[in-house]
């Protein structure tokens, strides 16, 4: 072994001498040797194209997630099992379901409607799975149709819970006029493209949409609602809620709607041929009050889960809603395509009065 080390060191000394000699020789010819630098362009290193973002999941996995949701949802509703439902629902939809549980449990048995199991028809359900960048929350959309002529449509949003890594239904909204649904763009592999719902490249970013739907309730759309949205069945329904509810007491009381900070700020958007399909949530309140002393508001049976039975001079309700809009990429009005709201809280805001 010592001899091997000696040979290696000797070889190193020999190579060093050879290298030194070559260096001297090259130094003497560097200015005259045109073969080493003839002005020819050096080859440009090839740039590898960035890989496409990966789909959120496969179509088979998406269909299985929808089936699993339907089956678990049925069991949870039949048993009024909040914990079980929490494994397959999230966001605004779960808040609405909890409100339904609470309301039903406060009703007399005779007023409770029997639960009927259901499921989505996968053969009549179109999947829209976006490609997502690494680190983005995984989600996908689906449009499920029903009716004898498939004349009804519901938009579904399922998102992966980043903590539990379970797929949860976070929105399920019926479309008032399915013919108005914009065409979602698919790539050659059949996958959709996710869009930033807050992007100013859209005619109405999500903050503008949220403000506009709230304005439909609070003013009947007079400030921004009728400017941001062209008239559709959905926007007309929201305005009708404002118009009819604010007049329900006549001279004996008042109703005032107001915006509230959204409890759920996530928004989901897919690229369409005209812009984007955006699914989002908003929260608003409704304050009812008597107009003069001696009058009271008697809670209706649907309110008793929150208010009990004691009359009160004023009540504030909180509503959680999911909304869907078709938003153009050019400066034109958007279309509100559907929405759904649930009373998720109610509070007597004045001294109660014994019956």
pLDDT reported for residue 243 = 97
- Long-range contacts at 35-39 (CB < 8 A, ≥ 24 apart): none
Q: Return phi, psi of residue 57, to 5°.
A: -170, 175
d(CA 263, CA 280): 11
In this prediction, the residues of the chain whose per-residue pLDDT falls under 70 are 1-50, 350-355
pLDDT reported for residue 39 = 52
d(CA 153, CA 173): 9
3-class secondary structure, 63 = helix
Which of 160, 98, 90, 152 has the alpha carbon at shortest distance from 120? 152
pLDDT reported for residue 129 = 98
In this prediction the pTM is 0.84
Half-sphere exposure of 201 (CA within 13 A, CB side): 9
Name 193's bridge partners: 131
pLDDT reported for residue 26 = 36
Identify the DSSP state of 334. Answer: B
pLDDT reported for residue 29 = 38
Which of 177, 79, 77 has the alpha carbon at shortest distance from 118? 77
Neighbours of 108 (CB within 10 A): 8
d(CA 337, CA 325): 5
pLDDT reported for residue 135 = 86
Identify the DSSP state of 203. Answer: S
3-class secondary structure, 322 = strand
């Amino acid at each position: 072994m010592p001899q091997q080390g000696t040979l290696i060191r000797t070889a190193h000394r020999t190579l060093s001498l050879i290298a030194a000699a070559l260096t001297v020789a090259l130094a003497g010819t560097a200015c005259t040797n045109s073969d080493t630098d003839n002005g020819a362009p050096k080859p440009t290193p090839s740039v590898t194209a960035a890989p496409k973002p990966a789909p959120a999941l496969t179509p088979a996995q998406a269909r299985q997630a929808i089936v699993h949701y339907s089956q678990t949802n049925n069991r949870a509703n039949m048993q009024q099992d909040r914990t079980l439902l929490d494994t397959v629902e999230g966001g605004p939809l779960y808040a609405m379901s909890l409100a339904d549980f609470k309301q039903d449990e406060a009703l007399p048995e005779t007023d409770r409607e029997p639960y009927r199991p259901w499921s989505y028809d996968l053969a009549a359900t179109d999947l829209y799975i976006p490609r997502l960048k690494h680190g983005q929350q995984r989600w996908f959309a689906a449009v499920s149709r029903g009716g004898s002529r498939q004349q009804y449509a519901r938009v579904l949003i399922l998102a992966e819970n980043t903590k539990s890594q379970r797929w949860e239904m976070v929105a399920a909204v019926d479309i008032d006029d399915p013919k108005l649904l914009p065409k979602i763009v698919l790539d050659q592999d059949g996958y959709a493209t996710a869009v930033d719902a807050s992007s100013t490249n859209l005619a109405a970013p999500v903050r503008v949409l949220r403000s506009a739907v709230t304005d439909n309730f609070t003013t009947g759309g007079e400030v921004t609602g009728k400017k941001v949205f062209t008239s559709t069945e959905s926007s007309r329904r929201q305005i009708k809620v404002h118009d009819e509810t604010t007049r329900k007491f006549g001279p004996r009381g008042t109703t005032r709607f107001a915006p509230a900070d959204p409890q759920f700020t996530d928004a989901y958007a897919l690229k369409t041929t005209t812009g984007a399909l955006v699914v989002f949530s908003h929260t608003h309140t409704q304050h009812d009050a008597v107009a003069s002393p001696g009058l009271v508001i008697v809670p209706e049976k649907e309110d008793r889960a929150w208010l009990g039975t004691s009359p009160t001079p004023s009540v504030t309700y909180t509503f959680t809603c999911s909304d869907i809009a078709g938003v153009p990429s050019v400066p034109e009005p958007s279309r509100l395509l559907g929405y759904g709201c649930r009373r998720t809280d109610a509070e007597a805001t004045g001294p109660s009065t014994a019956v």
